[in-house]
Amino acid sequence: MNEIEKRSLKIIEEALDRQVSDIHFQPKENYIQLQFRIAGELHPYIQIKEQLYTKMLSHFKFQANMDIGEKRRPQNGALTLSFHGKKVSIRLSTMPTPFNESLVLRLLPQENNFSFKDLFLFPNPANRMPALIQEQAGFMILTGPTGSGKTTTIYALLHQAVSKYNRRVLTIEDPVEKISDSFTQLEVNERAGITFSEGFKASLRHDPDIIMIGEIRDGETAKIAIKAALSGHLIITTMHAKNTIGALYRLLEFGISFSDIQQTVTAVATQNLINTICPNCKGSCGPQCSSQTKRRLAVFELLSDQNLIEALAHIYNPKNPLPTYPTLRDEINKAIQLGYLPKDYNERWNDAS
Ligand SMILES: [Zn+2]
């Protein structure tokens, strides 16, 4: 690896560490100013000499199959690099400026590489999920409004099931949201005759340990899924419901019997994404901050184990008290107390309905 290649990789690696979305190389009269875009905001990074930049630019253009000799017209290119086993797609664009060509690198880390624990502001209670997905059978439900990061959470969990616990995972989705080569993904396609129940029957013949169902929207889907859980499969799915307890009532509305719910459901979780601020930087992290707080993180509420037993007892007979466990609201209050959310944070609860 030559010096130019090393310097280029070091800049990208540094950017990835800081969750930079774009690296700007902005030519000035006597030097090149580098800037990092982090959570939507530009932060100055380092300055480099024009001579080094010219070589770097040629190196990037070469790697991205762009025309090295063309300096007067804007160009676009793409390349994929690997850092510590993680793939990163990079989109490059150049523009002529009075001093030199400017260059912007857009970094697109493959989202599947996010590890499960990095998705959450507070590691508990989500930490319990990887243990629950190791069970032989069960029914796990994740609720939350559209855009609450449910799919990302489930994919990260499934990746862990495959890579750490060597489980065979099959997904049935409508449509497939993120392509992954770690598990078998089946897309529902009514027009091609692949209905949900057809797909589900086929998937059972594929001998999966875990079946992920994109979303349970109706009684028919719910009944098929519960039946599979009763016959010894682990099902994980999403559902529209206001909160964790609400998801249990929803299953009853779908015509699932109380005893089937009691026998199969192992976890009901709700999550939402919040825009966090760094308590040290009072905003998004500058390049110097050691904490590098992510701007979009999930807060998580989990109903499982003893709390789930108590919640079901309450549903069975409302005279039984509801369990007390940390709710999304508690998580948000904690985030405000610790400075991850502004003191005057107005909760915006998107109703799932
Ligand atoms: Zn910070």
CA of 34 to the centre of ligand 1 (A): 20
Residue scoring higher pLDDT (89 or 233): 233
CA of 280 to the centre of ligand 1 (A): 5
CA of 16 to the centre of ligand 1 (A): 16
Please report the sign of the dihedral spanned by the C-alpha atoms of residue 303, residue 304, residue 310, residue 316.
Answer: positive
CA of 9 to the centre of ligand 1 (A): 24
State which H helix or E strand residue 157 sits in.
helix 150-163
What is the average per-residue pLDDT within 80-91? 81
CB 104 within 8 A of CB 25: yes
Q: Tell me, what's the pLDDT at 294? A: 79
| Residue 35 maps to a domain | yes
Q: Tell me, what's the pLDDT at 85? A: 73
Which tokens in the block code for residue 131?
Answer: 């243990």
Residues with CB under 5 A from ligand 1 (ion): 278, 280-281, 285, 289, 291
What distances in angstroms separate CA 133 from CA 67, 136, 158, one per listed residue?
49, 8, 8
Count up the domains in the chain and report the number.
2
Q: CA-to-CA distance for 76 and 64, rounded, in angstroms?
A: 8
Confidence of residue 111 (pLDDT cuts 50, 70, 90): low
- Cβ-count burial of 65 within 10 angstroms (0-12 exposed, 13-18 middle, 19+ buried)? exposed
Same domain, 156 and 260: yes
For the domain that residue 98 is a member of, what is the CATH number? 3.30.450.90
Same domain, 132 and 206: yes
Q: What is the CA radius of gyration of the chain?
A: 24
Same domain, 124 and 90: no
CA of 282 to the centre of ligand 1 (A): 7
CA of 25 to the centre of ligand 1 (A): 24
> Which structural domain, as residue segments, surrounds residue 166?
113-337
Picking from 55, 83, 109, the residue at the C-terminal end of a domain is: 109
Confidence of residue 79 (pLDDT cuts 50, 70, 90): confident
Same domain, 145 and 285: yes
CA of 96 to the centre of ligand 1 (A): 34
CA of 37 to the centre of ligand 1 (A): 14
| Residue 296 maps to a domain | yes
For 246-304, the pLDDT digits (tens) are 999 999 999 999 999 999 999 999 999 898 999 988 888 888 888 878 778 999 999 99
Beta strands in 207-264 (DSSP E): 210-213, 234-239
Percent of the chain with pLDDT over 70: 96
Same domain, 97 and 195: no
113: left (phi over 0), alpha (psi -120 to 50) or beta: alpha
For the domain that residue 154 is a member of, what is the CATH number? 3.40.50.300
Q: CA-to-CA distance for 38 and 23, rounded, in angstroms?
A: 9
Same domain, 212 and 95: no
Does residue 6 carry a pLDDT above 50? yes
What residues does 351 pair with on adjacent strands? none
Picking from 83, 109, 135, the residue at the C-terminal end of a domain is: 109
CA of 283 to the centre of ligand 1 (A): 7
Q: CA-to-CA distance for 170 and 206, rounded, in angstroms?
A: 8
| Residue 308 maps to a domain | yes
Same domain, 261 and 117: yes
CA of 128 to the centre of ligand 1 (A): 28
CA of 286 to the centre of ligand 1 (A): 6
CA of 248 to the centre of ligand 1 (A): 39
DSSP 172-183: EESS--S--SSS
Same domain, 53 and 137: no
CA of 122 to the centre of ligand 1 (A): 16
Same domain, 91 and 207: no
Q: Tell me, what's the pLDDT at 350? A: 42
CB 287 within 8 A of CB 36: yes
Same domain, 183 and 325: yes
| Residue 346 maps to a domain | no
| Residue 125 maps to a domain | yes
Same domain, 75 and 118: no
- Cβ-count burial of 38 within 10 angstroms (0-12 exposed, 13-18 middle, 19+ buried)? buried
CA of 90 to the centre of ligand 1 (A): 25
Q: Tell me, what's the pLDDT at 36? A: 94
CA of 304 to the centre of ligand 1 (A): 34
| Residue 139 maps to a domain | yes
ipTM of the complex: 0.98
Which among 193, 254, 322 is positioned nearest to 237, based on CA atoms? 254
What is the average per-residue pLDDT within 332-349? 83
For 11-70, the pLDDT digits (tens) are 999 998 888 889 999 999 999 999 998 877 889 999 999 999 999 999 999 999 899 999
